[in-house]
Structure 1
Amino acid sequence: MGKFKRLGWGFLALVGVLAVIIGSFTYHLKPDYDGEKSLQGLSKEVQIYYDNYGIPHIYAENDADAFKALGYVHAQDRLWQMELLRRIGKGGLSEVFGKDLLGTDKFFIALGIDDYSSKTITNLNPSDAAVQLSQAYLDGVNEFVKEGPTPVEFYLTGIEKKPFELKDVYNTLGYMAFSFAMAHKTDPLLSKIKDKLGFEYLKDLAVHSDTTTLWIKNYPNTKNDSIRKSISEVMSSLEKLSIPLFEGSNGWAIAPEKTKNGKVIFANDPHIGYSQPSVWYEAHVSTPNYEKYGYHLAGVPYPILGHNRKLAYGMTMFENDDVDFYYEKKHPTDPRKYKDGDGWKDYEVISKTIKVKDSDDVQFSYKKTHRGPILNGIADQITGERPISMWWIFTKVENKLLNSLYSMSHAKGLDDFEQALEDLHAPGLGIVYGDADDNVAWWAAAKLYEIPDSVNTKFVYEEGKGLPVEKEYLDFSKNPHAINPPWHYVYSANNQPDSISGMLYPGYYLPENRGRRIEELLEGKDDWDKEAVGDMITDNTSPVNVEIVSQLLKKVNVEGLNDSDLQILDNLKVWKGDYPTESTAATVYHRWMYFILQNTFKDELGETLFEEILNTHFIKRTIAPIVGNEASIWWDNISTPETVESQFDIVTTSFKEAVEALEDQLGNDTAQWIWGRVHTLEHGHPIGQVEALKSFFNVGPFPINGTREVINNTYFPYTEGGFNKVSSGPSTRRVIDFSDVENSMSILPTGQSGNPFSTHYKDQAEMYVNGEFRKMMLNKEEILSKSKSQLTLKPMNGKE
């Protein structure tokens, strides 16, 4: 017995020692929100006050010290996220995650982001303020890389911390530009459908602009007139790593004439792929010359969303077409050459080395034409013998993105803010603006170019046809915009914009659904306040879906339906198109819609193309029009040549299949078919893919309200299994009332910190799901009185 006692005490002692070691290890990995630290290169002491949600309020005596401090605190909360984002554009994920990411790395290398960033760096003027403050920010990041604790993800993946450089900032912005571009998903797919089925099958898809839907209206400034499959696989690999992809957004600004307190109210909620940590890092930076409460991408010094007491700005996606694909003609005998005009030209061959975790380096070569990289053979991206090249505006013009972000964040008012947007060449952004001087504005910020009506940009261009490589660029004044319009508000919801100069701008615009709801709500009220706008930004109602259901109900053959089926249809008749978690009509509608899409398109497209088309913007735009088109060629099931199916057949069959699927999935009690059981949100972390670590790194899952293409746009892909796992949605919700700017409000999807040992790793997650907000503090006295943590950064030599 004594022997066993000794063994028991020995075991407990060992457990105790391990607990102390683990506790000590995790304690030292936590971010430091208190105390004093010395930073090399600081000229003056910097005070950082953390609020109750871990958001730093940085007070410095000069801009360089402020941005150095910003870099340091950003890195201690988000270094792992910074590391991942800088690797994507240069093709460096295989070094972290192994050979499964080789295809993704090859694709991004071929896009040329890293080479473009290198070229940009060589042309920078080191004396530019934008460059100098960026370097100050990076110095702060690198101080943490050098002196701070190593995040646990670096231990788990076995990679070393390395200093950050200016090229990393540009590579991160390049990845952002890529993730906005829908042409990568769409153009090769549409060409495949055209080649397989013919133009007749394309005319009923919402490929082009629809003049019957709601467009964003323009209004000039009256104050101042001065691939197919593998590309989807690339996107899928990034989604599996929980790397945020940019999807869509809402933004609006309400002029004083429509607000209760007679001042502008601004709102914005960019829709981005959910991830852990979430995409934005909030920071309030204040110096004698500069103040901004901003939202930063990992590793990018200037906020992409921001506000102060004078103005507020945010972004949506413009969704313009800035990518072109070309078929290249091969030389009949020399594989090194391709057709260029009337002659032949040598391919440019580019060779790269890719580092791969737990494996030898991989040597990789690809070919380029004067239009861009050849996609064939790059991780099996394009099938078939015909070479396809890709022209992407992002790498074709001078990169002034960093200067533009600097100028936006330092703008004093409407005119210089507008001027800053002229250098945003790609990705195309819808920038929404409001200020304390009663201005509201919206601009489509992108480098647009002439596109003749005779050119269809949605297909791979045949050899010798399509747009020339040398584009005829439009002046920024020709971009869609609205400044202080007489209807007293502006908005952007990724829907089709109207034209300034009489020509439409081809793009991959989202359906009118959110735009219609935004206009409906804004038009119907002239006494908006902050609370009402907060309710609006979490609105879950779709008037378009109600109209779709109304049409579908007329086309159901009720013969053979039982009482339960008829009750389900009766419930849909009175459905308001809303999406609370307790709704059963919402569950039935989306299950029904999945089977309608499957039974309409899958027989012609096959499994692979059907799965691809479900992930495009144009299928979202197609749903309402095709439901209203009884004569569409798509309704016939080509798998049954002996019969010709009608829309009535497909709608009725799909309803029956939806009910049967829901019974199998959720049981026979229809009262239990609530939306929250199938519509859930989990914020995934790259390390959370490992099942044993999932509960530690991931946040959620939570049942969540909202749906696709409502203002509270919680997007999910349609799947056969029927579990609508949300993949993207509002990356923040911000409401800024210039009558009470000190009490503006916001929320993040999980928390401010990306460090799982931080108390701010997920402290906003349940608030976000519940549609709640927290305060964005600007007042220094209030910040000091409510701050529970203070970090002081001192010059390394201890002198001021």
Structure 2
Amino acid sequence: MKLLKKIVGIFLIILAIVAIAIVFAVNSLKPDYDGEKKMVGLSQDVKVYFDTYGIPHIYAENEKDAFKALGYVHAQDRLWQMELLRRIAGGRLSEIFGADLVKTDKFYLALGIDEASSKTIAHIDTTDQAVQLSQAYLDGINLFMEEGPTPIEFYLTGVKKKPFELKDIYNTIGYMAFSFAQAQKTDPLLTNIRNQLGAAYLQDLEVMSDTGTTWIKNYRPESNSVRNNLSKMVAEAMDKLPVPQFVGSNSWVIAPEKTKAGKVILANDPHIGFAQPSVWYEAHISSPTYENYGYYIAGIPFPLLGHNRKLAYGLTMFQNDDADFYYEANNPEDTTSYKTLEGWEKYETVHRTIKVKDHKDVSFTFKKSRHGPILNGLTEGVEGSRPDALSWLYTQRDNRLLQAIKEMSHANNIGEFKAALPKIHAPGLNIMYGDAEGNVAWWASAKLYKMPEGINTKFILDGSSAKQEPVEYLDFSENPQAINPPWHYVYSANNQPDSIAGMLYPGYYLPENRAKRIVQLLGPKNDWDREDVKRMITDGTSSVNPTLVADLAKSLDIPRLSPLEIKELDKISNWKGDYPLDSEEATIFHRWIYFFLKNTFEDELGPEQFKQLLATHFCKRLIAPLAAKSTSVWWDNVNTKDIVETKNTIVNTSYQQAINSLRKDFGENPSRWTWNKVHTVEHQHPIGKIAALRSFFNVGPFPVSGSREVINNMYFPYDESLFYKVNHGPSTRRIIDFSDIGNSISILPTGQSGNPLSPHYKDQAEMFIRGDFRKMQLNKDDIVRSSNSLLIFKPEK
């Protein structure tokens, strides 16, 4: 017995030692928010106060020291995210995730971001302040990589840490630019529809300017062919990305004339794919020459969203068309050359090698024309004799985006801020602005160009004739914009802007739903305050969907409906278009719309192209107009002989399918058909795809209010599951109130840190779901008094 007790005692001691070791190891991997650290290259001490939610407030005596400290604290919370983002453009994801990412790596290498970054770096001015501050930021990242704990993801994937370089910043900016593009989802699909079905089938797809809907108004003061699988190929490449993509956004800026305190209020919620970590990292920098409370993308040293005591800015996606596909014409006697107006020109041949985890390296070759990379052969889906080239403005012009973002964050007034914007060539951004002087402004910032009259860039163009090339690049002064308009507010919801330079600029604009609601709310009210704007930015009511229901209901054959179907029709006919968690009407509506789209389009397109259509912006735009039409070529089912289906057929069938699907999924009692049962959000970490690690890395799932194309834009794709898993939405909600600038408010979808061992990994997640906010502090006394911890960087002597 004594021996047994002794053995048990020894075993318990060993267990205790192992437990202590595990706890010590886990704690050693956490971000360090307290204490003192030596930092090479600092000129003076830098103090970093972390607030209740882990947001750093960096106080330094000069900007270089501040940005070096920013790089360090950003890396300790987001190094894994930085690592993923810098790998995308360079085709280096397969090195982490294996063969599943080879197609994605091939596509991004062919796209040319990495090559364009190399060219930019080769000609960079190292005396430029943007470059010098970027290098200081990189020095901070690399110091953390040398001295700080290695994030757990590096151990799980076997990734070796390597220093960050200036090129990594440009590669991350390049990925951000391409994730805005919509042409890759739209142009090949529309070309297929035209070639397979004929021009008549394009008429109801709302691919041109939506002239009957809400537009963003301009105001300037006096002082100022053969079917291809390109869509499928690009979708497959982008869908596998382990990081979120940029999608849409809301923003509005209210002038003093319409606010209770007589000061500007700016609201902004960029819509980006939900993931963990979330996109933005918040940091407040203060030095004698610079102050900014900013929102940073991992690996980029300057904030894309920011404010200080003088001014505030935000962004939405412009959705302009800056990427076009071209068919090239091969020389029939020499396929290494292609036709141009000047004669036959040799393709450039590019060789690349991709390292693949647990597999041999993959080497491949692709060709480039003067338009861009030839996508044929990059995947089995794009073959054939007609070479398809992707022309993208981003890689074709000098890249001054880093300088633009730096100058925006350092501007002191509207003039300095505006001067930075012509440097943005791609992606197209709606830049929203307000300041303490009472100015409000919106600029569509992009390098816009005119095409020959009659050329529609929504289709694959002819690359051999020289008749479908840009004929003019517009000066920035001709871009859509509004500065201090007489209606006293500016806004953007990714919708169609008014005419510019005598033309409507082509793009992939979103439907009017959010824009109509924003204008409806902003227009009549002249006493806005922060609480009002809080309610507006979380508003979940559609101004369009009740009318859409009424248009569909006119086609229902009431006598043929069951008592249950009639009862639910009465409910949805009185629906206000809102999306609380207990709404039955919201659930019925979206099931009805899905079947309406499926029964309208899938017979002509087939399952694969129907899925591609659902992913386009023009599909979102066509729903309401199509519901209002009495005739459409799409309504006849091509698979039924001797029967011609009509709108009535489609609407009745779709409504009954919607009700039957709900009965099947949730039972006969409609009180169980509520929105919270079908509309959920889970913030997924790349490693959370492994079932055993899901609960550790992922955040959620949560039932969530809101929906597609309402201000609280909790977007989900339509698919055959008939459940609505939200995959993108507000990446932050910010409200900047110049009547109390030191206590403006914000929220992140999950938390500030990307380290799952940090207390700030998901401490905002439930607040975000509830529509709550927290302060963005600017006042140093308040920051010091309420700070949870203090990290001091001292010069290494």
Q: What range is the shorter-chain TM-score in?
A: over 0.9
The answer to whether structure 1 residue 66 and structure 2 residue 66 are counterparts is: yes
State the SS of the aligned residue for 1:543: coil
State the SS of the aligned residue for 1:162: coil
After TM superposition, give the deviation of residue 524 of structure 1 in Å.
2.1
After TM superposition, give the deviation of residue 18 of structure 1 in Å.
2.6
1: CA distance between counterparts of 2:466 and 2:268? 37
Amino acid at match of 2:638: I
Amino acid at match of 1:77: D
After TM superposition, give the deviation of residue 20 of structure 1 in Å.
1.5
- Whether the aligned pair in 2 keeps the contact of 1:455 and 1:466 (CA below 8 Å) is no
Alignment TM-score, normalising by the size of structure 1? 0.98
The answer to whether structure 1 residue 255 and structure 2 residue 255 are counterparts is: yes
After TM superposition, give the deviation of residue 347 of structure 1 in Å.
1.0
Q: Which of 233, 237, 240 is equivalent to 1:237?
A: 240
Deviations 1:293-339 (A, max 9, x none): 00000000000000001100000000000011111112213221211
Amino acid at match of 2:498: D
In structure 1, the partner of 2:580 is: 580
In structure 1, the partner of 2:737 is: 737
- Whether the aligned pair in 2 keeps the contact of 1:371 and 1:469 (CA below 8 Å) is no
1: CA distance between counterparts of 2:582 and 2:13? 50
The answer to whether structure 1 residue 478 and structure 2 residue 478 are counterparts is: yes
Deviations 1:273-308 (A, max 9, x none): 001010000000000000000000000000000000
Q: How many residues align?
A: 792
Amino acid at match of 2:138: L
Correspondences of 1:352-501 after superposition (within 5 Å): 352-465=352-465, 472-501=472-501
After TM superposition, give the deviation of residue 697 of structure 1 in Å.
0.2
Are the structure 2 counterparts of residues 635 and 61 from structure 1 closer, same or farther at C-alpha, using a change threshold of 3 Å? same
Are the structure 2 counterparts of residues 535 and 467 from structure 1 closer, same or farther at C-alpha, using a change threshold of 3 Å? farther
- Whether the aligned pair in 2 keeps the contact of 1:26 and 1:757 (CA below 8 Å) is yes
- Whether the aligned pair in 1 keeps the contact of 2:450 and 2:470 (CA below 8 Å) is no
Amino acid at match of 1:496: Q
After TM superposition, give the deviation of residue 382 of structure 1 in Å.
2.3
Deviations 1:654-689 (A, max 9, x none): 011111111111221110111011000000000101
Correspondences of 1:77-156 after superposition (within 5 Å): 77-156=77-156
- Whether the aligned pair in 2 keeps the contact of 1:375 and 1:381 (CA below 8 Å) is no
The answer to whether structure 1 residue 206 and structure 2 residue 197 are counterparts is: no
In structure 2, the partner of 1:565 is: 565
State the SS of the aligned residue for 1:339: strand
State the SS of the aligned residue for 1:744: strand
In structure 2, the partner of 1:604 is: 604
After TM superposition, give the deviation of residue 501 of structure 1 in Å.
1.7
Deviations 1:444-486 (A, max 9, x none): 0000011233111000013534765565211000000000000
State the SS of the aligned residue for 1:539: coil
After TM superposition, give the deviation of residue 507 of structure 1 in Å.
0.2
2: CA distance between counterparts of 1:637 and 1:9? 77
After TM superposition, give the deviation of residue 641 of structure 1 in Å.
2.0
1: CA distance between counterparts of 2:262 and 2:165? 46
In structure 1, the partner of 2:531 is: 531
- Whether the aligned pair in 2 keeps the contact of 1:352 and 1:363 (CA below 8 Å) is yes
State the SS of the aligned residue for 2:790: strand
State the SS of the aligned residue for 2:176: helix
State the SS of the aligned residue for 1:335: strand
Deviations 1:334-370 (A, max 9, x none): 2212112252121100111111111222112110011
- Whether the aligned pair in 2 keeps the contact of 1:228 and 1:382 (CA below 8 Å) is no
* Unmatched segments (≥5 aa) in structure 2: 225-229
In structure 2, the partner of 1:509 is: 509
The answer to whether structure 1 residue 168 and structure 2 residue 168 are counterparts is: yes
2: CA distance between counterparts of 1:480 and 1:466? 28
Amino acid at match of 2:293: Y
After TM superposition, give the deviation of residue 557 of structure 1 in Å.
1.0
Correspondences of 1:297-316 after superposition (within 5 Å): 297-316=297-316
2: CA distance between counterparts of 1:464 and 1:423? 31
State the SS of the aligned residue for 2:438: coil
State the SS of the aligned residue for 1:590: helix
2: CA distance between counterparts of 1:467 and 1:511? 31
The answer to whether structure 1 residue 186 and structure 2 residue 189 are counterparts is: no
After TM superposition, give the deviation of residue 652 of structure 1 in Å.
0.5
Q: RMSD between aligned alpha carbons?
A: 1.3
In structure 1, the partner of 2:227 is: none
2: CA distance between counterparts of 1:381 and 1:46? 54
The answer to whether structure 1 residue 277 and structure 2 residue 277 are counterparts is: yes
After TM superposition, give the deviation of residue 5 of structure 1 in Å.
5.4
The answer to whether structure 1 residue 552 and structure 2 residue 552 are counterparts is: yes
- Whether the aligned pair in 1 keeps the contact of 2:636 and 2:645 (CA below 8 Å) is yes
State the SS of the aligned residue for 2:548: helix
- Whether the aligned pair in 2 keeps the contact of 1:96 and 1:357 (CA below 8 Å) is yes
After TM superposition, give the deviation of residue 430 of structure 1 in Å.
0.4
1: CA distance between counterparts of 2:467 and 2:391? 10
Deviates more, 1:452-461 or 1:709-718: 452-461
- Whether the aligned pair in 2 keeps the contact of 1:542 and 1:577 (CA below 8 Å) is yes
The answer to whether structure 1 residue 47 and structure 2 residue 50 are counterparts is: no
2: CA distance between counterparts of 1:432 and 1:466? 37
Amino acid at match of 1:769: I
Are the structure 2 counterparts of residues 360 and 258 from structure 1 closer, same or farther at C-alpha, using a change threshold of 3 Å? same
Are the structure 2 counterparts of residues 471 and 5 from structure 1 closer, same or farther at C-alpha, using a change threshold of 3 Å? farther
* Unmatched segments (≥5 aa) in structure 1: none
- Whether the aligned pair in 2 keeps the contact of 1:247 and 1:271 (CA below 8 Å) is yes
Amino acid at match of 1:515: A
- Whether the aligned pair in 2 keeps the contact of 1:451 and 1:467 (CA below 8 Å) is no
2: CA distance between counterparts of 1:421 and 1:394? 15
1: CA distance between counterparts of 2:599 and 2:374? 35
2: CA distance between counterparts of 1:463 and 1:761? 49
In structure 2, the partner of 1:228 is: 231
- Whether the aligned pair in 1 keeps the contact of 2:68 and 2:136 (CA below 8 Å) is yes
2: CA distance between counterparts of 1:379 and 1:158? 28
Amino acid at match of 2:43: S
- Whether the aligned pair in 2 keeps the contact of 1:104 and 1:379 (CA below 8 Å) is no
1: CA distance between counterparts of 2:661 and 2:17? 53
Deviations 1:555-610 (A, max 9, x none): 11122322211110010011000011111100000011000000000000001000
Amino acid at match of 1:237: K
1: CA distance between counterparts of 2:9 and 2:578? 60
Deviations 1:478-531 (A, max 9, x none): 000000000000001000001232111100000000000000000121100001
2: CA distance between counterparts of 1:93 and 1:535? 41
State the SS of the aligned residue for 2:721: coil
Correspondences of 1:739-758 after superposition (within 5 Å): 739-758=739-758
- Whether the aligned pair in 2 keeps the contact of 1:231 and 1:381 (CA below 8 Å) is no
Amino acid at match of 2:450: E
Amino acid at match of 1:203: Q
Correspondences of 1:764-779 after superposition (within 5 Å): 764-779=764-779
Q: Sequence identity of aligned pairs in percent? A: 60
After TM superposition, give the deviation of residue 62 of structure 1 in Å.
0.3
2: CA distance between counterparts of 1:467 and 1:519? 40
